[in-house]
Structure 1
Amino acid sequence: MPVIISFMFIGGILLVFWLELTYTEYVEKLKFLYAGSIEDAKTILQTILSALITMTTLVISITMVVLSLSASQLGPRLIKIFMSSRRTQIYIGIFFGSIALTLTLLILLHDQSTFEQPPKLTISSCFVLAFINLFVLLGYVNHVARSGIADTTIERVTKELENSLARLCDNTNSQQHSEASSIPSELTQHKRDIYSASSGYIQNIQYPALLEIANQNDLLINMECRAGDYTFSGQKIGTLFPKNHAHADIEIKVVECIDIGANKTGAQDIEYSIRHLAEIGLRALSPGINDNFTAMTVLDKLSGILSAALDTDLPQHIYHDEDNKLRLIGKSVTKSDIVHSALSQIRDAGKTKPDILHHIIVIIGQISLTLKSQDAQIALNQQVELIKQHIHEYFHGKEEETYLLKAIEKYSL
């Protein structure tokens, strides 16, 4: 985006320059335009160019300092979120575009013999843009300051998580489901194991391509990994059935359908953004920060996500062919996994903080009131049992014990 904006600025100043050369008689009627010489204009433009470069360098330096301090409290992914913001990209594009525009105009003014008189409109346009940059700078500073606030970051991550959940769960309609996802007994003794060819995080598994391979070769593919898992070279990641249909070249094709990279992504990993949100809460509860209010804000956002996710049909990567023959079994995220990712670490980090435990109890109680999934309810009940252990261990015989147990009793947990 900054590169595109820079080229737009260059194109814009060239267009203004061409219009001025084409319609000189009309430009002459504008008395408020620049009225100095070309030498004076070059001197002013050189000063403006130097000032813009200095300002842009200083702004970026300050930005990285602010982001570094904020990332230490909210997590390193804050920098990625900030840099991926469209508003941030537009601001940076305006700064660099102004520099590119001024430099382009200086190049145009280099040969004085080209002009009978200075290009007043073009030079004036550059002056106006330099003035506008002062207000852009104010907006950018305000944007950076707001981006470093915990609530802003939490809200961005929550929206990203909601979009990810909606996108991934919408795909369930196009998938073929089956309750009978077990491997037929006659195939269990005739298998060929699949091993990872490289180390890294699984970013994406190309299930349609795997299904096509299984159909073409009359195979059943059982994947024992999913997006978000870390694999090392030589690790078993799946099995092909039957063995006599699974040749070495087919195994290579199957492995190529698994995209492995250095970092996790949210392409297929529902827990990716949940872990990011939970990380903010964990850092807030660390002894160095000890910000319970930020952790409770995270829990509030997670409660909405959990309520939606636990009553939604999560993607189940089980596919059949046109004859309803089982062809592909993929490892899928469960509702228990989502509950664990969202609550377990924050609960453990806040086990000595009665306000955090009470907040988790209230959230679980409110979710349970409308929850229909039995598996999800079991996972939530496990969290409640662990909270009871924390209460007995850290608040036995204290007022906090009575307070927390009454909250549990209130929601019949």
Structure 2
Amino acid sequence: MKARLQAWIEILGDLFWLRPALIVLGCILLAQFGVWLETAHVAGYDPSSPDANWGYSGGAEGARALLSAIASSNIGVAGTTFSITIAALTLASGQMGPRLLRNFIRDGRNQTVLGIFLGTFAYSLMVLRTVRTVEEDPFVPHLAITGALVLALIAIGTLVWFVHHIATSINIETVVDAVQQDLCKAIEARTLDAADAARPSDVPTGNAVAKTGGGYLQAVDTDALADWAEENRITVALRVRPGDYVPSGFPVAFLSAGVEGADGAIARAVTLGRRPTSLQDLEYSIRQLVEIAVRALSPGINDPFTAGSVVDHLGDALCRIAPRYLATGAVVREGQVVLVHPVTDYDGLCDAMFHMIRQNAAGSVLVLGRMLDVLARVAEVERLADRLRELRRHADLVADAARRGVADPQDLGDLLERHARFVLVQETGRLA
């Protein structure tokens, strides 16, 4: 249930309208409260007082004109803000990939800016409807109108800040850094300080259960599923991990023995959705970074500098993983393995990071050289032999790609020299 709740919260972050709607609702309640303060005589504003120059001190006609101006200008600026946001999303989709749009939509700052403009508009309308002239029962809520002035000034500052934010947020380096920060958070959350329980060799392969509907596996409540397996004295072996697409009717788990109610228990522990999320998927941010690099290497864009920057950030992620341990996917209860689920291992992480970039950078000396340099730096930090062998495999693949795709002998010699430096680092732990 906890994992499913987290998945729902993740989905709420994708709703672009939610935060603006809450801000508009708050501004409406604030307008009602400001008017109530004067109608209930809880607080008031005396425009004839000598200290009344800090707020609105005019009459009903001036109040209507002022509130109308604030409302009309803010709804116009809100439309402009929305247009700028759509233009930024279009630019990001074309240059960095459509899957990066989710990061812009989830940006709470863009949502807050739109909410401030719409909230100021709603606030002004709610106060405007209460202003009455002398021909009617005269009433001018001076405190509430002063609040509209304050919101208008806040909106002016917000507009200036929004232009700055949108200009910096579509910068490719800003986007790469933001995705890399998400990757660092995922590494901190999904890796361990100490070695995990060993994965058993006798994983169940019978008693298939939980033939679910289609969708991406977003989260797995491993604690609840392990408790259920312990209670029923069985071992559960999941066949899919977060980020995988589960076809309709595909059995997602095997049990060591048949148990009544297994389908329902496993269905409650897994959360499927229309798109993958970063909630429990360590490779999610890696795929986003790789997509940026691959698009940058396409003939239409041809930006190897961006691809090189992505490789640098991926190397930083591997250096962060070096002192930590990856989960084995075995969950133990009272000394017995009760749940085994697929997890990302070090080989899979390196494959996800480097395969597609190397394949699309076959003729780019800059990117291939940067990959060899980054692998050498990671090898200086890494001390586990199996991980060093995996880094060596990718360095050899880069060298082979250079031999096939680089025609200039000097460029090829430079790349092979960098490969030799990597081999030296792998074998000795440092450069000569």
Higher mean Cα deviation, 345-354 or 113-122?
A: 113-122
Query: Which residue of structure 2 lines up, in the alignment, with residue 122 of structure 1?
Result: 144
1:214 matched to 2:229: yes
Which structure 2 residues correspond to residues 178-197 of structure 1 after superposition, within 5 A? 178-179=197-198, 181-183=200-202, 191-197=206-212
Query: Which residue of structure 1 lines up, in the alignment, with residue 48 of structure 2?
Result: 28
Instruction: State the AA in 2 paired with 1:298.
Output: V
1:277 matched to 2:283: no
Structure 1 residues 86, 114: closer, same or farther in 2, change over 3 A?
farther
Query: Which residue of structure 2 lines up, in the alignment, with residue 331 of structure 1?
Result: 342
- Unaligned runs of 5+ residues in structure 1 are none
Structure 1 residues 180, 152: closer, same or farther in 2, change over 3 A?
closer
Which structure 2 residues correspond to residues 37-76 of structure 1 after superposition, within 5 A? 37-76=59-98
1:108 matched to 2:130: yes
Structure 1 residues 221, 113: closer, same or farther in 2, change over 3 A?
farther
CA distance in 2, matches of 1:239, 1:113: 79
Equivalent residue for 1:201, pick from 216, 219, 222: 216
1:148 matched to 2:170: yes
Deviations 1:122-150 (Å, cap 9, x if unpaired)?
33442343244233211111111111111
Higher mean Cα deviation, 78-87 or 383-392?
A: 78-87
Checking the alignment, whether the CA contact within 8 Å between 2:220 and 2:271 is kept in structure 1 is: yes
Checking the alignment, whether the CA contact within 8 Å between 1:195 and 1:233 is kept in structure 2 is: no
Equivalent residue for 1:371, pick from 368, 371, 382: 382
Query: Which residue of structure 2 lines up, in the alignment, with residue 229 of structure 1?
Result: 244
Shift of 1:275: 0.9
Tell me the number of residue pairs that the alignment of Structure 1 and Structure 2 aligns: 402
1:393 matched to 2:404: yes
User: How high is the TM-score relative to the length of structure 1?
Assistant: 0.89
Query: Which residue of structure 1 lines up, in the alignment, with residue 8 of structure 2?
Result: none
Checking the alignment, whether the CA contact within 8 Å between 1:202 and 1:229 is kept in structure 2 is: yes
Structure 1 residues 123, 320: closer, same or farther in 2, change over 3 A?
closer
Structure 1 residues 114, 370: closer, same or farther in 2, change over 3 A?
same
Query: Which residue of structure 2 lines up, in the alignment, with residue 293 of structure 1?
Result: 305
CA distance in 1, matches of 2:139, 2:127: 15
CA distance in 2, matches of 1:93, 1:283: 33
Shift of 1:177: 4.1
Structure 1 residues 126, 180: closer, same or farther in 2, change over 3 A?
closer
Structure 1 residues 392, 88: closer, same or farther in 2, change over 3 A?
same
Equivalent residue for 2:110, pick from 85, 88, 96: 88
Instruction: State the AA in 2 paired with 1:66.
Output: A
Equivalent residue for 1:321, pick from 333, 343, 359: 333
User: How high is the TM-score relative to the length of structure 2?
Assistant: 0.85
Checking the alignment, whether the CA contact within 8 Å between 2:215 and 2:272 is kept in structure 1 is: yes
Structure 1 residues 119, 216: closer, same or farther in 2, change over 3 A?
closer
Secondary structure (helix, strand or coil) at the match of 1:70 reads: helix
CA distance in 1, matches of 2:394, 2:317: 17
Checking the alignment, whether the CA contact within 8 Å between 2:358 and 2:401 is kept in structure 1 is: no
Structure 1 residues 374, 224: closer, same or farther in 2, change over 3 A?
farther
Secondary structure (helix, strand or coil) at the match of 1:412 reads: helix
Checking the alignment, whether the CA contact within 8 Å between 1:227 and 1:268 is kept in structure 2 is: yes
Secondary structure (helix, strand or coil) at the match of 2:100 reads: helix
Shift of 1:397: 5.8
CA distance in 2, matches of 1:288, 1:40: 57
Higher mean Cα deviation, 111-120 or 368-377?
A: 111-120
CA distance in 2, matches of 1:124, 1:238: 62
Shift of 1:361: 0.2
Shift of 1:316: 2.1
Checking the alignment, whether the CA contact within 8 Å between 1:27 and 1:121 is kept in structure 2 is: no
Query: Which residue of structure 2 lines up, in the alignment, with residue 6 of structure 1?
Result: 24
CA distance in 1, matches of 2:122, 2:225: 48
Secondary structure (helix, strand or coil) at the match of 2:198 reads: coil
Deviations 1:16-45 (Å, cap 9, x if unpaired)?
444456354654314535454313422342
Shift of 1:338: 0.5
